[in-house]
Amino acid sequence: MDTELIRGARVSHERASVDQIEAAADADARSIVESLLDSEGVTEAFAIRTCNRVEAYVVAGSLEAARDALAPVGADVDDGVVVEMDHEESLRHLMRVAAGLESLVLGEDQILGQFKRAIEVAREAGGIGPTFETGLTKAVHVGERARTETGINDGVTSIGSAAVRLAERETDLDGETALVVGAGEMGKLAARALADAAVATVIVANRTLERAEHVVETVDVDARAVSLDAVDAGLTEAGIVVTATGYSEYLIDTDDIEAAGETLVVDLAQPRDVDPAAATVGGVAVRDIDDLESVTAETRATREAAAEEVEAMIDEEFDRLVEAYKRRQADEAISTMYEAAERIKAREVDTAVSQLESAGDLTDEQRAAVESMADALVGQLLSAPTKSLRDAAVDDDWSTIRTAMELFDPEFGGSDDGRKPGDPLEDSPDGRPDATRGAPDRGGNAPQADPGDDVDGDVNGMPRRLLEGTSDD
């Protein structure tokens, strides 16, 4: 059943420097997802990339296929920086990320929005299937609960505000001119934090002037929007510069900043907006995400109690999520078993009815009695195996579930004819269901359920009328 399991790899601020995070992946989240989906054996993929993390996850047909697909993540960084995660580790970590427990600023609000956007990006790329849908939906739910039911996001709540707190320690912002490069969520938060820090003027530079103007409207000090072409002029005017764009190359280098004079630059971008060599220019100090550690440590200390509440919340939700996956694994095998039994039943009922009709007409009540008897036999015969399969899932006994899948669907795991597990089987030349596939019948054959059979509505592929008479006891 390993086809339903998630595996992940991450490079984040917990072990990696800014340089290592930048080296871990040189593509955006969508490109990462598309690359993962192109890997052999991968059926689903998800990736999230922020200023302090690059994470990739896959659902693959085997552990080897998953590892091969994830190998490029962190291939260019030192040993010990990349963290590999199995199914349960991946699920728990995704919940921690969404809840803000893995953020540089503990409990930051922005990561939940970034997480949701990453889901939509992966969905648009075709990476979200039933396995990720379940896990990622639960992670978002946990992230929302953490922020509404605990104080995890009280106080300094963003990297943008942490950057301004750092700047206040190193220079006097009162009456200063500030330049914010980038009008995304982080740039907007930095601009607001700078305004609250009593700077006199805020200049917001962005590729799209309209977005910069929108940010300007949200601050309470003198502010103006400019295009990226005006960044050089802004550098000579500003004493504090905060950069937070999504560009893949440097926007500010040594030549750009040589005439800036005394300037503190805080680069929040990943990849970086500012060439590190700019720090060699006289009077210019360059700080990056790694330098925020002292500020974020203070925030972490004040939120320890709330973090413990969120940890308990994650433990609770994690147990529910794992049980949901286990039930689904068992239900897949149970569904296959019932489909095979339903096809056998339908064929045998047709045979019995034909034989009875040859001796005289059957009433509707007699026909219904034959079908009811067949349903009862199927339900009673499969009741014990159903319970055994569900117990096997709870006990992590995947070998039993895999054996059941192989017994009732010999094509499970792939076939020479290219059919994948769950694909409909072709009918035999005489138009009747092929009795050479599926669970064993009296002759050693076991066809699967005919899509045309009346099963009174299916539940996970199992006839509802049979499920209603099947007990877990």
Round to whole Å and give the CA distance between 399 and 327: 15
Round to whole Å and give the CA distance between 449 and 9: 40
Q: What's CA 268's distance to the chain center, in Å?
A: 24
- Using alpha carbons, list the distances in angstroms from residue 402 to 62, 267, 281: 14, 51, 64
DSSP state of 411: T
The catalytic position among 5, 16, 42, 51 is 51
Beta-bridge partner residues of 285: 264
Q: Which two tokens stand for residue 436?
A: 């050479």
3-class DSSP state of 363? coil
Provide φ and ψ at 57, rounded to 5°: -140, 145
3-class DSSP state of 395? coil
Nearest to 185 by CA among 209, 207, 214, 165: 214
- Using alpha carbons, list the distances in angstroms from residue 119 to 45, 48, 90, 419: 10, 8, 15, 29
The letter for the amino acid at 118 is: A
CB contact at 8 A, 463 and 456? yes
CB contact at 8 A, 163 and 190? yes
Nearest to 317 by CA among 70, 157, 134: 134
380 is catalytic: no
* Active-site annotation, residues: 51
